[in-house]
Amino acid sequence: GTSGLKLTERKFAKRTAERLPGLSLSRSLSVNGFSASQEPRRTEHNHQQPETAAAMKIEEVKSTNKTERIASHSHVKGLGLNDAGDADPVAAGFIGQEKAREAAGIAVDMIKTKKMAGRAILFAGAPGTGKTAIALGMAKELGPKVPFVPMVGSEVYSSEVKKVEILMENFRRAIGLRMKENKEVYEGEVIEITPEETENPLGGYGKTVAHVIIGLKTTKGTKQLKLDPSIYESIQKEKVTVGDVIYIEANSGAVKRVGRSDTYATEYDLEAEEYVPLPKGDVHKKKEVVQDVTLHDLDVANARPQGGQDIFSMMNQMSKPKKTEITEKLRMEINKVVSKYIDQGVAELVPGVLFVDEVHMLDLECFTYLNRALESTLSPIVVFATNRGMCTVKGADIVSPHGIPVDLLDRLLIIRTTPYSVEEMAQIVALRAKTEGIEVEADALVTLSTIGERATLRYSVQLLTPAAIVSKTNGRTSIAAGDIEEVDGLFFDAKSSAKLLAEHADRYIH
């Protein structure tokens, strides 16, 4: 593979551009350009004044809200903290756990100020006390630009890849790199495409394109450009015709067809074309492009072995497993290039969050590796969660708090989550019912919270949907206490099932 080769900056830029088409690194070691899939959608509208009141166009504004399936944590919108950093009792989909939320809020502030790289937090508490919910609340508070990588402790066990390799891969996924570049582009509606042909220098009857003259128009004016034949090939690939809105990057020559100019919108009664307004400003303009990639994206882009074009190389590539291990040497080379970008001010490091749920599932080998990984210069913020008390560390005969070795526990800030009270359970059930669009009567909420105290909060929340079906069958629109009792009689929770097993142990196979 190429991982053993010395990575020069030029090779790094070339390989990265090949593997990540949205990321082409120019000679100044900076990111250069979008790919077709990454072109941002235009939100500008045609601001031409209507000539008469009759010509005025009124359009219905469509909702931009994303529609998501309702999951177990759909109601969580953030940590629910006020400006002073104090937790409101009921806010952002959270009820209770004020101290844990405030502690998580401080961690979020440290992450935002980039003062917490390489540190780790542990959420410790009984099952169903909101550990995962608080971690997701942290992700919502940090926003979409900060990488948040969730994983479960058991994910590291693979027959193909080493445990520590999967951990390191997720570490690299959680470190973002924000790259900026001022890019020159020519943008406008095509008003002419004239290829200039010459005799073929190799002889024969054919002619070759010497250059192409293209005319671009914007709201401010028009401009004629003389382009290289290779750019003409890109124009043909994009199927550009007169009347299309395109943009051409000055330093790479990349051509992107944005859509058809909206002056041609009445050309056909029915077609599948996307119409865009005439670009504003001059034809030649400078744009600042910001792109977000992770270190893992760069690793993968530079790790895949480049085979030859012959049949044996292609067969070898097909027979190889898809997942290739990225060597430490390659990562060190990429770190050097990334450090150079950061020193030049071209890129900015964005340490994200790696969330490891059920951390007690990791073994001693993984924990030893985590000690070293947390101390490396490029390290994200790691958030662990566990519901274990004193238990054996996997892969060793050591009994330790939370199933984590003491030397790693020393490095962690531990946040406790406490069991919910009956009142808090009633509020949580009411919130879940609202999220799922289920109407619940007040006495049914009391019954559910009592069941939650007897069994678990998760069990009482899970009874909502079956109870809604029972109430609908009984011809009611809202859930009554009787529906909850009927459903509770049909299903068993973990505690009552275990009790039943203990009582009738002789009837079961051991």
Task: Report the mean per-residue pLDDT for the chain.
Answer: 77
pTM score, two decimals?
0.65
Least confident residue range of 32-46, 118-132, 254-268, 411-425: 32-46
> Chain-centre distance of CA 318, in angstroms?
29
> Chain-centre distance of CA 452, in angstroms?
34
Residue 81 has pLDDT above 50, yes or no: yes
pLDDT in tens, 179-213: 887 778 888 888 888 888 777 666 666 677 788 88
Instruction: Band the pLDDT of 39: cuts 50, 70, 90.
Output: very low
Question: What letters, b where the CB count within 10 A reaches 16 and e where it falls short, cover 411-443?
Answer: ebeebebeebeeebbbbbbbbbbebeebebbee
Q: Do residues 127 and 456 touch, judged by C-beta distance below 8 A?
A: yes
Instruction: Band the pLDDT of 33: cuts 50, 70, 90.
Output: very low
The tokens describing 244, both together, are 């299309």
Beta bridge partners of 413: 121
Alpha helices in 174-253 (DSSP H): 229-237
Sign of the alpha-carbon dihedral angle for 59, 64, 70, 74: negative
pLDDT in tens, 406-451: 888 888 888 888 888 888 888 888 888 888 888 888 888 888 888 8
In percent, the amount of the chain with pLDDT more than 90 equals 0
The tokens describing 7, both together, are 């990575």
